[in-house]
Structure 1
């Protein structure tokens, strides 16, 4: 993990150190995400161009969305606003997820949204009257947008639905099963200490040269990463290192779980956000990556979350940051 990321997480924990500052952060972050999200949707359907190269690779949308969604929902749930406006904001965020056109992003983000809405309703922070609102608005918005831009959305949605409903492993994983096979082969060769950082492209090339014809692989493209965070870490530093990282991911989930089910204040929206975000990270990592160099510009959001969580006061009586 780069030192600047650890320093960034520590700095965040100092800057966002009380309720007022956290509220300012969430409000600012929310409106920035609304603007960026609408721009990204416009780019996805070909009617605008995002000025930053970050999202030129559409695989970047997944990690951006699963990290941003919990913070966006914190703002929506916390703020006093009309039910229709609250529903509209929820719809916009759901549309952001839909327009990622990524199956693993769907799995991670919609699971996050379900978790957030379940616990928010359980804590009486959310009214179920919102459900008809945002269902109607969501369907109507997508239908109208698709109509005005010349039916550009339907083929993309049909592609994702075909992939999700496919019984063929290659279609379901967009042939990533072949990359995972290569990673497993090399992990078995060096299970304890791994191959080192940024070595996957070289060894994957060797794997293709040796086994592409024998295994009847459908693609001979050389990949620089595994498209699976757990396999990537195991490849680079070995299985013990991967287990240590997995433990680090599970600890905040367990801590958040205990607070949501066993604490006196079960409606703490920050704990709900932590729980959903870290679960989303766990799911997204099955077919994507986050902490490596090619995702470093978006990964800063993960370190922000971890920074806030690391100093979140365990004393339920104060409900402030330590």
Structure 2
């Protein structure tokens, strides 16, 4: 199926040739000399672009496969621009072609009218408004465009491609195959360095920046790995294969010391237990609300307990887990609180529209309080972000955006949860359950970090969203057939 272009066009060929020539000229005159090797990659990219014009679905799968193997350009070259190569340029090209081919696309109304998709569209509409009110419109506009080239190819075009149940299985398997190469590479480096503590945070480079984003991707993918291992009626060789991946992924998770990833997977496991016990989602929400109320009532006592914890992140696995609640001396945790407080202070000054998408790192420095500063604090806007999907959104796009984000997350989890409860055991239930648990794990992780602007995360999060929506539509359709 090729839904962006039906037959080759001389006009398209001419446009692509001019685009290719201009890009090479730009590379030669604008890039530093040490970027010269990148020209070969750029040429390869536009060969793929030519292929993309006439074989869109195939290139969609190529992008999915390349995503775990993509490299952030600044990790290889020092230059004026930075993006994930080759995936982001390819995604941007798909976005451009989408705009030209929009009227011809075989959209299904029930998919785009779904409450989850509607919430996403409203959310990005609001962010677009906040971009117009940004303190730095150029930065916000570039960031907004980068979000669009994740949203359109993965959410919109994925909404068409992933209508097929076999394609949903392929989505998982292709990404896992590619990402497993990165995980094995990371484990090899860990073994080579004798499982170091400090260096373990960076042994996954150049494919991933550090252990935190590796942990986020592990949180998204581990539910599927474990589900496949425990799947009934699979052959012995396949069980050995999935069992090997379980061991490899678990070792990398433990020995890269990503505490947020461990926490997110514990919460995902709890969600699985609730599903196994067939507890209704509304009862689960009620329980969460009750816990939140109790937490607010006893917040002073809880804070005192957290401050008394002196465990710091280290090579000891138990101590590393215990250090998650150390808010008094663990530099990473204290700096995270510093970023959160800065985000809250920023939101008080611009509560409705925020400071603009992508501006947090350039604006938060004046909002830091001296009592919250750590040895890793900075005033130069050169490292890090709000360390929270929620507070980052609040600071950059205002409280309406944060509320819409939370509504989207809860609605997606709720829809996926109730759909899983209605499904019989089988491959479809396994795929939906894996998407639901991975999605949940990421947005638990999102309390402590924010990576939705990374190709590695965005492809999975929006892909899982599409899978959850399609299974819900399938379920409703089946119920309607039965009722008639």
Superposed displacement of residue 166, structure 1? 3.9
Tell me which of 272, 283, 306 is aligned to 2:433: 272
Corresponding residue for residue 394 of structure 2: 234
2:160 matched to 1:4? no
Corresponding residue for residue 128 of structure 1: none
Counterparts of 2:248 and 2:467, CA distance in 1: 26
Corresponding residue for residue 71 of structure 1: 224
Deviations 1:64-116 (A, max 9, x none): 11222233334334460339735444333322321331111111124335545
Residues 352 and 400 of structure 2 are in contact (CA less than 8 Å); yes or no, is this contact kept in structure 1? yes
Corresponding residue for residue 290 of structure 1: 451
Superposed displacement of residue 180, structure 1? 1.0
2:354 matched to 1:194? yes
Residues 187 and 248 of structure 2 are in contact (CA less than 8 Å); yes or no, is this contact kept in structure 1? no
TM-score (norm 2): 0.51
Residues 169 and 177 of structure 1 are in contact (CA less than 8 Å); yes or no, is this contact kept in structure 2? no
Residues 112 and 279 of structure 1 are in contact (CA less than 8 Å); yes or no, is this contact kept in structure 2? yes
**Which protein shows a greater Rg?**
2
Aligned residues: 281
Residues 13 and 307 of structure 1 are in contact (CA less than 8 Å); yes or no, is this contact kept in structure 2? yes
Superposed displacement of residue 240, structure 1? 1.0
Corresponding residue for residue 308 of structure 1: 467
Which 10-residue stretch deviates more, 155-164 or 240-249? 155-164
Superposed displacement of residue 230, structure 1? 0.4
Tell me which of 175, 179, 185 is aligned to 1:33: 179
Tell me which of 234, 239, 244 is aligned to 1:80: 234
Deviations 1:158-191 (A, max 9, x none): 6624513647375572531111111111111111
Counterparts of 2:209 and 2:437, CA distance in 1: 27
TM-score (norm 1): 0.73
Which 10-residue stretch deviates more, 189-198 or 84-93? 84-93
Tell me which of 188, 193, 214 is aligned to 1:61: 214
- For the residue of structure 2 that corresponds to 1:289, the secondary structure is coil
After superposition, the CA RMSD in angstroms is 3.3
Tell me which of 242, 249, 256 is aligned to 2:416: 256
2:274 matched to 1:103? no
Tell me which of 163, 166, 172 is aligned to 1:20: 166
Aligned pairs (5 A) from 1:107-186: 107-113=263-269, 115-116=271-272, 155=315, 157=317, 160-161=320-321, 163-164=323-324, 166=326, 168=328, 170=330, 173-186=333-346
2:377 matched to 1:218? no
Counterparts of 1:194 and 1:5, CA distance in 2: 22
Deviations 1:106-133 (A, max 9, x none): 11124335545885799xxxxxxxxxxx
Question: Which structure has more RCO (C-alpha within 8 Å, separation ≥ 6)?
Answer: 1
Query: 1:251 and 1:121, CA in 2 relative to 1: closer, same or farther beyond 3 A?
Result: closer
Counterparts of 1:231 and 1:285, CA distance in 2: 10
- For the residue of structure 1 that corresponds to 2:449, the secondary structure is coil
Counterparts of 2:416 and 2:317, CA distance in 1: 34
Counterparts of 2:327 and 2:344, CA distance in 1: 23
- For the residue of structure 2 that corresponds to 1:312, the secondary structure is helix
Residues 150 and 459 of structure 2 are in contact (CA less than 8 Å); yes or no, is this contact kept in structure 1? yes
Corresponding residue for residue 203 of structure 1: 363
